[in-house]
Amino acid sequence: MAENLTHGIKFKDKLGYALGDMGGIFTFSLVGAFQNKFYTDVLNIDPAKIVVLILVARLWDAINDPIWGAFIDSRKPTKQGKFRPYIFWFSIPLAVACVLMFTVIPNLTPAKYLLYAYITYIFYGMMYTAVNIPYGSLASVVTDDEKERSSLSMWRSIGAGVGGLPGTVLLPMIVYTTTGTYANGTKIQTLDGNKLTLCAAVLAVLSVVIFFFHYKMTKERIKPLAKEKGDYKVTQSIKDLFSNRAFVMLSVAAMFLMAFQFYYQSTYTYLFTDYYHKPGLYSLVAICSYLPMAVFIPVMNKLIDKFGKKELCSYGMFFAAAVTFVLFFIKTSNPYVFLFFVFLSGLGQTFLVLELWALVMDVIDYHELRTRRREEGTAYALISFMRKLGQTLAGVGLNALLAVINYNSDASKQGKALADDVLAKLYDISTLVPAIFFLIMALVLFFGYNLTKDKVTELHAALIEQRKNEK
């Protein structure tokens, strides 16, 4: 009887689910932290060409992601489950794709390096989609209990935070090489492509091991709604999802959250290397960003019970926006003051970071209530695509802004410091843009996302009743 329970998950379930995002972020964090700098400083690709590369990749994602989500939704579950097998099968090619993306092939022409970047970047994106869409969908079939889903969302965030530590904390202390000194005596430190390749290979292997344990420790408890042959239509599903206000608003918020995460990871790499001349301190950014989780995780469920998920997330983003605007205006030259404000901003971000996937599960439940269809794969595919659009917004925006401020990637290699006006503008784009992103997320969640605390309670009661009637 216990085997048929749709709730009552244990610590093993939570840890196993967290391992899934840990395995993915082991490699994904490299993309956010080092990809842009690897392209500009190691492969010497012009920022404008990187913009085109990212746009082409997202154009392909617009086709690939919904197709993959629809494929998963249209398949009958195997004995191992509906989602878990895909995560297991594609974890190895994902690891291979990561290594290839950060591999330096000697003596290639600039044109061939650019072509290689296109092939490996798009291949990695496809493999990440192949793993991440079924992983995101998995939570909705692990448990149907709202609090347990919220707990899974928090554990996913913990897994992501831990998975990001090697790439954002350890690697900045490893992958830079001292190549000389500036006129003022400050060490010139440049990104070493060979070191980065080796580190990417180690993290890729570890990611496969972690995905294996994730597969063994998770269980799909909820049986999908029965589908008659031919009753799934991807166009109708997409149309229904985008007519769901809550889904649309959450997708926009998820897009800007990913945009912020990618933007700050990439921008802060330049900021701590070129502005503060302390690339090793970049490792503290992730710690300062995720440390607030330790403050709120023990009391998160109580806060949700009292205030609601939508309410906490929107107020938190208003706070993060206010703090980051202050950071922009003070123009601090002290990296430790900067990191303190990063920590304060993290206090506000924590709610959305921890509860994003619980919110996604709420909108999928709402979709089921409205349409009597449960289509996790398609929903997560669209969310995934919107997050990739956020990644694109960050990548295109950053490279465009680097071009506008006249950033010179060869300056450090030539033993020259960037001009003072360039450094001042680098600080500005590192603080003002994230502040604007936070404000947009706050406004979208507060005014646009309509699944309030009371409405979510009503939603789950109505859904339980609907499922009883359909049996």
Provide the terminal-to-terminal Cα distance of the chain, rounded to the nearest Å. Answer: 18
Assigned domain for 3 exists: no
Contacts of 63 (CB under 8 A, 6+ apart): none
Distance CA 458, CA 387 (A): 29
Count of beta carbons in the 10 Å neighbourhood of residue 151: 20
* φ and ψ of 199, to 5 deg: -65, -40
* φ and ψ of 78, to 5 deg: -85, 180
- CA 167 to chain CA centroid, Å, is 14
Decide: 201 and 6 in contact? Cβ < 8 Å. Answer: no
The sign of the torsion formed by the CA atoms of 432, 436, 441, 447 equals positive
Residue 47, CA atoms < 13 Å, CB-side half-sphere: 19
Amino acid 4: pLDDT: 45
Number of domains present in the structure of the chain:
1
Using left for φ > 0, alpha for ψ between -120 and 50, and beta otherwise, residue 104 falls in: beta
Decide: 463 and 264 in contact? Cβ < 8 Å. Answer: no
Amino acid 424: pLDDT: 92
Q: What is the CATH number of the domain that holds 243?
A: 1.20.1250.20
Taking the chain (471 residues) in runs of 10, the rounded mean pLDDT of each run is: 56 91 90 83 86 87 83 80 90 96 89 93 93 86 80 86 82 78 68 89 95 92 59 74 92 94 85 84 82 84 89 96 96 94 94 89 88 80 86 86 82 66 92 96 96 88 80 60
Distance CA 412, CA 410 (A): 6
Q: Which domain holds residue 234?
A: 10-470
Distance CA 192, CA 177 (A): 6
What are the distances in angstroms from CA 391 to CA 57, 156, 369, 404? 11, 20, 31, 20
Assigned domain for 2 exists: no
Assigned domain for 4 exists: no
The sign of the torsion formed by the CA atoms of 349, 351, 355, 360 equals negative
Assigned domain for 405 exists: yes
Question: What does R_g of the chain's alpha carbons equal in angstroms?
Answer: 22
The b-or-e profile of 103-120 (16+ CB within 10 A means b, else e) is eeeeeeeeeebbebbeeb
The sign of the torsion formed by the CA atoms of 235, 21, 259, 55 equals negative
pTM of the model: 0.76
Amino acid 266: pLDDT: 81
DSSP string covering 332-354, please? Answer: ---HHHHHHHHHHHHHHHHHHHH
219: nearest Cα among 300, 139, 152, 106: 139
Amino acid 229: pLDDT: 45
Amino acid 228: pLDDT: 47
CB-count exposure of residue 159 (10 Å: 0-12, 13-18, 19+): buried
Residue 81's beta-bridge partner residues? 78
Residue 176's beta-bridge partner residues? 191
